[in-house]
Structure 1
Amino acid sequence: MKTILLHIDSDHCMEARLQVAMDIARATGGHITCLQAVSYDVFAPGDFYGSAMAAAIPHIREAAEKLRAKIEADLANEDVSWEWRFFHGIAEHRLLEQSALHDIIIVGPHDVGEEGALGPSAMAGELALKAPTPVLVVPGDTKRLDVSAPVLIAWNGSSEVCVALRAAVPLLALSSQVYLACVTDNEEKTRFDFSASEGARYLSGHGIAAEISEIPRGEAKVADTLFSAAQLHDCGMMVMGAYGHSRLAEMLLGGVTRRILSDPQMPILLAH
């Protein structure tokens, strides 16, 4: 993945996704586009004359400039190619606009100003559903992305996971082992048409060997089962498809992706 679009914000996951962006750039000879978007749309009840907004703008601008200076100083000491793009407006909209000529978007697990929220990032969901490129969600405790580590693909046979599989090929080619994990439940009917063997055959055509792993559903949540399987195989990343309406109203595996994004335990690559 040669062109990496990185969301810049002052949340506590910023350092983690910056490190992951650099890991991918080094492994692929890629280029990082740091996108910083600042919105001055501050809503203050009763502030009919915009006095609260006017007072907030200098502080917002100063914080943005400090963050840029810090990250640019850090990047200046790294052996990666990068550039900085600053925009006014909602980050989600600017990332979507810039995504057409990028190979991957890297974001955190929380929306701007909503760290500690229990639900998944609405921005990550919107980008996964609308952007023409995959989205990599990086949790804050990620130290680095070992691109040679095994990767788990949460396979349910949907066209969406097929899209995610194809989008992930450049990273899967660097992995030491790819697992197509199917959480099976004999009581549920299969909704989609693509078997795990077809996914493995597609990867084989790209020179990537994949091992199919069928996991009985059991009593645990599907999300927990997938994380357990990924941890068992020492996976560094999980790949999933996403489908549904806006704001993550519906997602792959009947809400499994929604649950996984609420508490991601490793980087999660999504595509629609």
Structure 2
Amino acid sequence: MKSILLHINDDSCMEARLQVAMDIARACDAHITCLQAVSYEVFAPGDFAGNAMAAAIPRIREAAEHLRAEIEADLANEDVAWNWRFLYGAAEHRLLEQSALHDIIIVGPHDIGEEGSRGPSAMAGELTLDAPAPVLVVPGSIKRLDVRAPVLVAWNGSSEAAVALRAAVPLLALSERVFLASVKEEKDTERFEFPASEAARYLVRHGVEAEVVEIPRGKGKISEVLAKAAAARECGMLVMGAYGHSRLAEMLLGGVTRRMLSEPQLPILLAH
């Protein structure tokens, strides 16, 4: 994992994901690309002449320049390799475009301008579905990422879980303990092809020893069960395959991915 794509935005989680990016960069001797995307598409009802947009552009530009100066000053004092990439346009589009030559994308849990919302980040979901690199969602409560801390891999035997597992191998190799956790339900049927034992053998080939655990669901939601299991094992990160059902079903009915993204308690590595 040598190339990190970090979303730059002036939100309450920026410091957290910057710190996590630096922790990974130090552990993997990786390079951080700080991507700051600025959109001037300001919607103002009735502003047919564009007066509101014209007035907003200097303020948006000034705020972007101030943020860049602050973060560059911080990075200048750190022992990590980095560069700055400033682009115009929607952040999700620019991150997706730049992701082709990066090994991981680091974003926050909220969409731009949606802080305080309890809903999941649409940008994180879209990137997870469309980008060729895994997405690491970092909540603002995180002070640093201990790459040696235990990691919980949510395992349901699906192809999405397998993709996430493969994507996480460079980080799993740094962890002192890896848990392959399956949530057992009473009405489980053998729907998927890959048992946890096969996933564990895959990891062994990469030098990663994993402990297979089966967690009873009880009456809680799977997202809650996974979060509690990770907390009980003092995990520093959760790895999971995203959107195992159709995206429409996830949006209408709710799903594990959607719930986990709504209020993440620890960094979550997602892949599809």
TM-score of the pair, normalised by structure 2: 0.97
Say which is worse superposed, 71-80 or 213-222, in terms of deviation: 213-222
Question: How far does residue 111 in structure 1 lie from its aligned partner after superposition?
Answer: 0.2
User: For residue 48 of structure 2, what is the aligned residue in structure 1?
Assistant: 48
Q: How many residues align?
A: 271
Aligned-partner Cα distance in 1 for 2:246–2:36: 23
In the TM superposition, what are the counterparts of 1:176-215 in structure 2 within 5 Å?
176-215=176-215
Tell me if structure 1 keeps the 8 A contact 2:35–2:95: yes
Compute the RMSD of aligned alpha carbons.
1.6
Q: Following TM superposition, by how much is the alpha carbon of 1:257 offset from its aligned partner in structure 2, in angstroms?
A: 1.4
Aligned partner of 2:216 in structure 1 is: 216
Kept after mapping to 1: 8 A contact 2:243/2:257: no
Gaps of 5+ in 2: none
Cα distance, 1:165–1:218 mapped onto 2, change above 3 Å: same
Distance in 1 (CA, whole Å) between partners of 2:78 and 2:151 is: 26
The answer to whether the 8 Å contact 1:125/1:248 transfers is: no
2:68 alignment partner AA: R
Q: Contact 2:44–2:52 at 8 Å: present in 1 too?
A: yes
2:26 alignment partner AA: R
Shift of the alpha carbon at 1:129? Answer: 0.4
1:166 aligned partner: 166
| Separation in structure 2 between the aligned mates of residue 214 and residue 70 of structure 1, nearest angstrom | 46
Deviations 1:132-164 (A, max 9, x none): 000000000000000000000010100001000
Aligned to 2:157: 157
Q: Call closer, same or farther: CA 1:88–1:245 in 2, change over 3 Å.
A: farther
1:83 alignment counterpart: 83
- Please report the TM-score for the alignment, with normalisation by the length of structure 1: 0.97
CA pair 248-229 structure 1, distance change in 2 beyond 3 A: farther
Query: For residue 237 of structure 1, what is the aligned residue in structure 2?
Result: 237
Alignment of 1:89-104 (within 5 A): 89-104=89-104
Q: Which moved more, 1:237-246 or 1:185-194?
A: 237-246
CA distance 1:245–1:213, shift in 2 (3 Å): closer
Aligned partners of 1:105, 1:64: CA distance in 2, in Å?
20
Shift of 1:94: 0.2
**Counterpart for residue 112 of structure 2:** 112
Change (3 A) 1:192 1:222: same
Equivalent in the alignment of 2:128: 128
Percent identity, aligned pairs only, is: 76
**Which range moves more in the overlay, 114-123 or 238-247?**
238-247
Map Cα deviations across residues 72-104 of structure 1 (whole Å, 9 max, x no partner). 000000000000000000000000000000000
CA distance in 1, matches of 2:29, 2:227: 30
Does 1:9 pair with 2:14?
Answer: no
Deviation of the 1:249 alpha carbon:
5.3
- Tell me what 2:269 maps to: 269
Deviation at 1:192, TM superposition (A): 1.4
The verdict on how the C-alpha distance between 1:260 and 1:88 changes in structure 2, with shifts beyond 3 A counting, is same
Pairwise CA distance, 1:250: 2.5
CA drift at 1:188: 3.1
- Which sections of structure 1, spanning at least 5 residues, go unmatched? none
Quick one: which amino acid aligns to residue 71 of structure 2? I
In structure 2, give the amino acid aligned to 1:219: K
1:14-25 alignment, distance < 5 Å: 14-25=14-25
Q: Take 2:254 and 2:182, find their aligned partners in 1: how far apart are those partners?
A: 14
Match of 2:140 in 1: 140
8 A Cα contact 1:96 1:131, kept in partner: yes
Partner of 1:31: 31
User: Once structures 1 and 2 are overlaid, which stretch shifts more, 62-71 or 222-231?
Assistant: 222-231
Counterpart residue identity of residue 58, structure 1: P
How many angstroms does 1:242 deviate by?
Answer: 1.1
8 A contact 1:122–1:248 mirrored in 2:
no
* 4+ aligned runs moved over 4 Å, structure 1: 244-249
Give the residue type in structure 1 aligned to 2:7.
H
